[in-house]
Copies of this chain bind each other. A is one copy, B any other.
């Protein structure tokens, strides 16, 4: 299983009048997590788009355990438990500075050829890079 941890600081803009981070901000935190995971694996999302690959989101799940608060440093853990094929699934956990688990969730995306607009397999190089890090392509999550 591959794991990446990155962090960001909660913006005032991200809070709502319940004085916690608004629920609709977490997809952005998940985005930050998977973008940094991909970068560490040698594949920036930006580069992918330039090479004609899009990666739209198919499905997303978020579970809210504790609220993230203004000015908190939060730690976004991103897990890849399975090798991608045409689809890729990122699992996420978000923690605060005290190590408390705030949120869990997952996001499934699909590799799409920008021209044909059809699903395509994940780039070969990316799978090669990921293979030794993910124990089995039949892993369940």
Residues on A lying within 8 angstroms of B by beta carbon are 11-13, 15-20, 22-28, 31-32, 35, 44-46, 49, 54, 56-64, 67, 70-71, 107
CB-based contact B13/A24 at 8 Å: yes
CB-based contact A62/B60 at 8 Å: yes
B-chain residues with CB within 8 Å of residue A64 when the two chains form the complex: 56-60
Other-chain contact of A13, B28, B59, B63 (Cβ < 8 Å): B28
Q: A59 and B59 in contact (CB under 8 A), knowing A12-B16, A13-B16, A31-B12?
A: no
Other-chain contact of A54, B18, B58, B59 (Cβ < 8 Å): B18
B-chain residues with CB within 8 Å of residue A63 when the two chains form the complex: 58-59
Q: 5 A-B pairs, CB-CB below 8 angstroms?
A: A17-B17, A17-B70, A23-B60, A24-B24, A59-B62
B-chain residues with CB within 8 Å of residue A20 when the two chains form the complex: 17, 56
Other-chain contact of A61, B49, B58, B61, B71 (Cβ < 8 Å): B61
Other-chain contact of A27, B23, B45, B67 (Cβ < 8 Å): B23
